[in-house]
Amino acid sequence: MLKWGIMATGAIANQFAETLLQMGDEVVLTAVASRNEENAKKFAEKFHAAKWYASYEELCKDNEVNVIYIATPNSMHYENCVQCLNHGKHVLCEKPLTLNAKDARSLYQIAKEKKLFIMEAFWIKHLPLHKKMLEIVARGEIGEVKHIRADYGFMTSKSKKRKFELSLGGGAIMDVGIYNIGFVWMVMKEKPKSFESKVTMNEYGTDEFSTVIFQFPGDKTATITTCIGMEIPTESVIYGTKGSIHFPNYHRAEKMYIKQYGGKSYEIDMPFEINGFEYQIRETNRCILEGRLESEVLTNRDSLEVLNIMDRIRSSWGLKFSVDE
């Protein structure tokens, strides 16, 4: 059984720890760390972790911990991943893995040299319903995929600066647009030839609302709408030459509708066992226990290509950061 550590104690870390707690004998939460001592202690007590630390360095030095889930702000992901890898820890890092593809490529190289597993916590890729959807697409049930639509918008307080400031990895595309782009990549599995976008920037100088139209080889297209400041359902539709697949909520995918043009329509329900995080945790455990350095479910290339697409979109908006060519 692998012994997990959690780095940071915010909302997403709480959700992750709650998942570990409900997975029973599959996993054990050994230690947690926060830069705030009181937060670390309360978190450990709440989720029955044996140890707690007031610094990330102490967690990384814990010889009992095998793998660390990183839930720090986006801008800290790269340095925290390096820190974990340098102490011989396997890593599951919250999305986005890094602020750009160049840094992600660097992390994969470090992990390879140290023979350690690292994966972005792009949890929706591991959901059973998405795996079923890919099977349906692969066997041609809806024909050739010609267009995909994926949207995501939500409300949040402007007091949460990490959601908005560029230096902290803020902006709608980095926060939730990664799901839209990741869903499109999941199905298309190829780079867009080109894209056009319309963006509204906020007072922090990052994207608040955007619509992007992608052009893919073979006259295929995709559109995504992403925003902070409006509630936009996380709906997606995959249109093929013989039918379509509709997700009323592709982000928390438990139901989808398959419609064949002029033919049968049906739905598939696959409720989560817990909250959906359990599938990426199991995949991480499996890979580490089998000595794998990379998951075939969510490959390094998957994460890199999505980051590359986000890099180019944000660069087209005039946002300045290092772009991996």
Tell me, what's the pLDDT at 158?
Answer: 64
Let me know: does 187 contact 138? Beta carbons within 8 Å: no
Q: Residue 254 to residues 26, 121, 139, 270: CA-CA distances in angstroms?
A: 23, 19, 21, 5
- 307 - beta bridge partners? none
Q: With a threshold of 0.85, does the pTM exceed it? A: yes
Q: What is the pLDDT of residues 190-229, one digit of tens each?
A: 999 999 999 999 998 999 999 999 999 999 999 999 999 8
Token code pair at residue 197: 């976008």
Tell me, what's the pLDDT at 263?
Answer: 85
Mean pLDDT computed over 1-13: 95
Whether 295 has a pLDDT exceeding 70, the answer reads yes
90-94/118-121 β-pairing: parallel
Let me know: does 84 contact 65? Beta carbons within 8 Å: no
Print burial letters for 116-144: b (CB count within 10 Å at least 16), e (below 16): bbbbbbbbbbbbbbbebbeebbeeeebee
* Residue 161 backbone dihedrals phi, psi, to 5 degrees: -60, -30
Tell me, what's the pLDDT at 325?
Answer: 40
List, as own/partner pairs, every contact residues 211-219 make where C-beta atoms lie below 8 angstroms and the sequence separation is at least 24, other chains included.
Answer: 212/313, 214/184, 216/188, 216/190, 216/192, 217/190, 217/193, 218/144, 219/146
Quick one: 44 exposed, middle or buried, by C-beta within 10 A (0-12, 13-18, 19+)?
buried
Task: Let me know the angle formed at the C-alpha of 240 by 238 and 244, rounded to the nearest 5 degrees.
Answer: 50
Mean pLDDT computed over 155-160: 72
- Counting residues of the chain whose pLDDT is more than 70, the rounded percentage is 98
Q: What is the pLDDT of residues 266-293, one digit of tens each?
A: 999 999 999 999 999 999 999 999 999 9
Which residue ranges form the domains of the chain, and what is each CATH number?
Answer: 3-123+277-298 (3.40.50.720), 128-271 (3.30.360.10)
Mean pLDDT of the chain: 95
Tell me, what's the pLDDT at 123?
Answer: 98
Reduce the DSSP state of residue 40 to 3 states and report it: helix
Q: What is the pLDDT of residues 103-145, one digit of tens each?
A: 999 999 999 999 999 999 999 999 999 999 999 999 999 999 9
Q: Residue 22 to residues 146, 246, 276: CA-CA distances in angstroms?
A: 40, 30, 12
Give the span between the Cα atoms of 128 and 280, in whole angstroms.
11
Let me know: does 153 contact 229? Beta carbons within 8 Å: yes
